[in-house]
Amino acid sequence: MKFFVDTAEVADIRSLVELGMVDGVTTNPSLIAKSGRNMAEVIAEICAITPGPVSAEVTATEYEGMLAEGRFLRQIAANVCVKVPLTEAGLRTCKTLSSEGTQVNVTLCFSAGQAILAAKAGATFISPFVGRLDDIGQDGLELIAEIVEIYANYPDFTTEVLVASIRHPIHLIQSAKLGAHVATLPPAVIRQLLKHPLTDRGLEAFLADWKKTGQSIL
Ligand code: E4P
């Protein structure tokens, strides 16, 4: 399973790259706004330290504008993946950009039907938002199960399921059980996955016992 980091904070990405946990990065207009940075500059910086695709989202809402923005964004770096919303214009832009060899992430997916359309438009990634579905009383993970099952029926669908809007470790673990290809995780969730109180307590006890021996390994 690939791990993308869902942030535009360069320091967070850098430390998670050093940990070996980053296969790619996703950003969106809200995350860029939160970073307080110029979009092209921060995307270039993220691309330079990220080993895989970096999603940069268009903000135009009609086809010509989306296409122009997508073509601008993709020349920032070879690993830019243009992100488009799941609208009619977004799907049309996806079809054009993917036929030009550009990676495209179709975002804001909330139904299996939308995911089928994105696959037919040649999306590299489809981003179903699990947390936002949970927020309105629907089962976000059920949507992941449906999309994974549908895509598996059609080997000509090459689109990868990128689980987005992950809020906690259970979203990630269940998505992995379902066979989703990618999860995009806020840095805090990656750190939550790492921590367990029994690991901390166990290490403390081992070190206390080791100290009593008076030995040192080196
Ligand atoms: C994914 O690409 C989105 O940027 C992100 O996962 C949205 O998450 P949120 O619902 O927590 O804003």
- DSSP summary character for residue 86: S
Nearest alpha carbon to residue 83 among 132, 31, 154: 31
- Which pLDDT band, with edges at 50, 70 and 90, does 103 fall under? very high
Which of 3, 54, 136, 165 best tests ligand 1's pocket when mutated (most atoms within 8 Å of CB)? 165
Whole domain around residue 35: which residue ranges? 2-213
User: Residue 118 maps to which CATH number?
Assistant: 3.20.20.70
Task: Provide the number of structural domains found in the chain.
Answer: 1
- Which pLDDT band, with edges at 50, 70 and 90, does 208 fall under? very high
Q: Count CB atoms within 10 A of the CB of residue 208.
A: 9
Alpha carbon of 6 to ligand 1 centroid (Å): 7
Q: Write down the H helix ranges in the chain.
A: 10-18, 29-35, 39-49, 63-74, 88-99, 112-120, 130-135, 140-152, 169-178, 187-194, 197-213
In percent, how much of the chain has pLDDT > 70?
100
H or E, element range at 106: strand 104-109
Residue 26 lies in a domain: yes
Residue 24 lies in a domain: yes
Residue 69 lies in a domain: yes
Nearest atom in ligand 1 to the alpha carbon of residue 31 is 4
Per residue in 35-81, pLDDT (tens digit) is 999 999 999 999 999 999 999 999 999 999 999 999 999 999 999 99
Residue 86 lies in a domain: yes
Task: Return the pLDDT at 174.
Answer: 98
Residue 64 lies in a domain: yes
C-beta 5 within 6 A of ligand 1? no
C-beta 96 within 6 A of ligand 1? no
- Please, what is the angle between helix 10-18 and helix 187-194, to 10°? 30
Task: Return the pLDDT at 149.
Answer: 98
Alpha carbon of 3 to ligand 1 centroid (Å): 14
Residue 12 lies in a domain: yes
Annotated catalytic sites, by residue? 83
Nearest atom in ligand 1 to the alpha carbon of residue 28 is 4
Among protein residues, the one whose CA lies closest to atom 12 of ligand 1: 165
C-beta 50 within 6 A of ligand 1? no
> Per the structure block, which two tokens stand in for 90?
């977004």
Residue 218 lies in a domain: no
Per residue in 185-195, pLDDT (tens digit) is 999 999 999 99
Mean pLDDT across 205-213: 98
Per residue in 124-150, pLDDT (tens digit) is 999 999 999 999 999 999 999 999 999
CA angle (96, 100, 118) in 5-degree steps: 45
Residue 73 lies in a domain: yes
Mean pLDDT across 168-183: 98
Alpha carbon of 48 to ligand 1 centroid (Å): 22
- Which pLDDT band, with edges at 50, 70 and 90, does 15 fall under? very high
